[in-house]
Each structure stands twice: as structure tokens, then as C-alpha cells.
Amino acid sequence: MRSFRKALSLQVKGRMAFVNITPQVEAALRESRIQEGLCLVNSMHITSSVFINDDEPGLHEDYARWLEQLAPYDPSPERYHHNRTGEDNGDAHHKRQVMGREVVVAVTGGNLDFGPWEQIFYGEFDGNRAKRVLIKIVGE
């Protein structure tokens, strides 16, 4: 069994944004030279997500509006007790749970084994800070 690790660094402008990181994951997979196995991609932070969906700007606008309805930004400590800590990002910890922390992708024949529209996104909900995404590939 072989394993390969790579951490991506990102700094997203604005509180909320979605970044297609598929090319970086594919580059890591090529670098790993692993042909068959599993590829884990996860946010190393707890106010952001890694998820798979469509690379379509209208959809990303929809996600942003919908997540804001489900867990509105509110820096006060009344809505989010978490903000009693001095943070203002209680909403981001909720948005991240809806969108998820990680994806696990099959590796087949040296490629990400994807359906026709699958793309990997980093979802930022508390931006303007340096963040990292972990890629861990195991296989042969």
C-alpha cells in the first residue's frame, strides 16, 4: 500500500465563496502515482467545507442564499452562543455542517472516478483568513 499527502493553502476573499479545487486534487493524484485506491479531501478547518457538485455559477449563488436562510450571519451572541467567545462566525459552523467536511473519491486507473458533472469544491463560510485543505490518497 502506498500513501500520499498534500495540503493546499487557500485564502478566499469575502465571507462566503466556492472554489473549484478539482485541478489541484488531480495534480496531487498524478504526483502520487497511485492507480487504484481512495482519495480523501477534507477541510482542515471547522468553518469551511469540501463537497462535490456542479461548477455552475447560478447554483453557487443559490447555495449562498439558501445557506444564509438556514443559518444567517449574526455576530450577536444571542442567536449564536458561540459568539460569546468573541468570534462572529457561529453561522459558519452551521453552514459547514450542511455542506459537509470531506469527500472520499474512488481512484481508478490513475484518475478520479467521477460521473459526468462531479467537481470538487472548497466552500468557505468565514473567509479572509488563511485556510488549508488536506488531500490524502491511499492505494497502489
Residues of this chain that bind a copy of itself (CB under 8 A):
1, 3, 5, 36-38, 40, 42-46, 51-54, 56-59, 61-63, 66, 70-71, 77, 79-85, 90, 93-94, 96-106, 108, 113-118, 132, 134, 136, 138-140
Max CA pair span of the chain: 52
**Separation CA 101–CA 119 (nearest Å):** 15
Q: Which is nearer to a copy of itself, 31 or 54 (CB)?
A: 54
Q: Which is nearer to a copy of itself, 17 or 98 (CB)?
A: 98
Do 139 and 107 touch, CB atoms closer than 8 A?
yes
CB of residue 30 to a copy of itself, shortest distance in Å: 18
Q: Which is nearer to a copy of itself, 51 or 73 (CB)?
A: 51
CB of residue 3 to a copy of itself, shortest distance in Å: 4
Do 119 and 20 touch, CB atoms closer than 8 A?
yes
CB of residue 27 to a copy of itself, shortest distance in Å: 18
CB of residue 38 to a copy of itself, shortest distance in Å: 6
Q: Which is nearer to a copy of itself, 15 or 47 (CB)?
A: 47
**CB contact set of 4 (below 8 Å; sequence gap of 6+):** 28, 31, 32, 34, 135, 136, 137, 138
**Separation CA 67–CA 49 (nearest Å):** 12
CB of residue 23 to a copy of itself, shortest distance in Å: 18
**Separation CA 40–CA 5 (nearest Å):** 10
